[in-house]
Structure 1
Amino acid sequence: MQDLEALKYPIGDFVYGQSFSADDTRQHISAIDELPIKLTELVGKWGDDRLDTPYRPEGWTIRQLVHHIADSHINAYVRTKLALTESNPTISPYEEGEWAKLPDSTLDIAPSLVILRNLHQRWVTVLAALTDVELSRTYFHPGSQRTFTLREVIALYAWHGEHHYQHAFRLAQRNGWSEKNV
């Protein structure tokens, strides 16, 4: 069994407080744009046996993970729009672990994959049009007691998508779930 920390953070933890260039931000927006298709290609045809497999000991199942990504990115989209339309708004945190236990976390993943595809289309449309001044707009997160610029939020959610994609991808690798074994 791999080290639990490596299973939790397959691409490492996000480092807050970094500076990001315009090119970095374009790459982050591109990663956000590509995630729904990439994720659908990986897990979209998996059966219940795979979807109900935790990606690590005491971790979420792939089904919960997909629903979590949709929940998280819906919140991120709303927070982005709040930051663009209000002056440093205080956003509402949510208990992601509790959300992952709600009845909709047992649904088929198709609704969340559709949400992600459509949500990301709208989100990326907004993100790609932001000026440098708009990328510096902020919101305050009371849970972490931090103010985030949209530039950092974009980097965080590019990381977040890849972080969870790698949970599923590496589980598939460990279990020999290659395309020919679907």
Structure 2
Amino acid sequence: MDLEQLKYPIGKYEAPAEISASILKGYINDIRYLPSLVEIAVQTLDAAQLATPYRPDGWMVSQVVHHLVDSHTNALTRFKWALTEDNPTIKAYNEAAWAQLPDVAKTPINVSLTLLHALHTRWVNLMEGLTEEQWQRTFVHPESGKTFVLKAVAGTYSWHGKHHLAHIERLKERNNWK
């Protein structure tokens, strides 16, 4: 298997030209169910398996779980900034550096799984209450200078969760971990 396939097991994200109500509902459901799917994917893994990188020079399974919390916490915060400020410039973060911090090494993944469940409940509750006008709110990413619409951001994070879930699931399949 080539490195590109290991990096992007479900392919790179491609936003649809138009995001219908049905597509948006799918994004919200992907975000809703991700914590349970991740929990199921890791529930039978032992410490050595959790410490296995999903690809050469990739994160360990435990780091992937902690990263989902870090990334999606930032996503919820970005949603709230966009909803309460006029096209704010959000704060970027160094995800690779965050994955090396002591909390990632010392915190059992069950703590991050609990956080992921709580975080996604809040995020889904927020998204389900948005009006069409609110879904059109925007923020600016400082690294690219690009403006992002919340409706499209939901799609990015729908993909992001499935992307990292696939990292874990494909590693389990390759190693025949039941």
Q: What's the TM-score bracket when you normalise by the shorter of the two chains?
A: over 0.9
Mapped to 2, the partners of 1:84 and 1:115 lie a distance apart of 23
Could you say which residue in structure 1 is the equivalent of 2:23?
A: 24
Match of 1:143, SS? Answer: coil
The number of equivalent residue pairs is 177
Q: Which residue of 2 aligns with 1:118?
A: 118
Name the Cα RMSD after superposition. 1.0
Partner-residue secondary structure (3-state), 1:139: strand
Q: Whole-Å Cα distance in 1 between the matches of residues 177 and 55 of structure 2?
A: 16
Q: Residues 124-159 of structure 1, C-alpha deviation per residue, up to 9 Å, x if partnerless? A: 000011111111000000112211100011000000
Q: How does 1:44-55 map to 2 (within 5 A)?
A: 44-55=43-54
Query: Which residue number corresponds to residue 159 of structure 1?
Result: 159
TM, length-normalised to structure 1: 0.94
Unmatched runs of 5 consecutive residues or more in structure 2: none
Matched letter for residue 138 of structure 1 = T
Runs of 4+ in 1 over 6 A off after TM superposition: none
Paired position in structure 1 for 2:36: 37
Identity among equivalent positions (%) equals 46
Q: Which position in structure 2 is the counterpart of 1:176?
A: 176
TM-superposition CA deviations, 1:19-54 (whole Å, max 9, x none): 211110000000000000110011034211110000
CA displacement at 1:108 relative to structure 2: 1.2
State which drifts further: 8-17 or 86-95: 8-17
Distance 2:115 2:87 in 1: 27
Q: In the alignment, does 2:6 pair up with 1:3? A: no
User: What is the rounded CA distance, in whole Å, between the counterparts of 1:114 and 1:45 in structure 2?
Assistant: 17
Gaps of 5+ in 1: none
Q: In the alignment, what sits opposite 1:136?
A: 136
Q: TM-score, normalised by structure 2?
A: 0.97
Shift of 1:16: 4.9
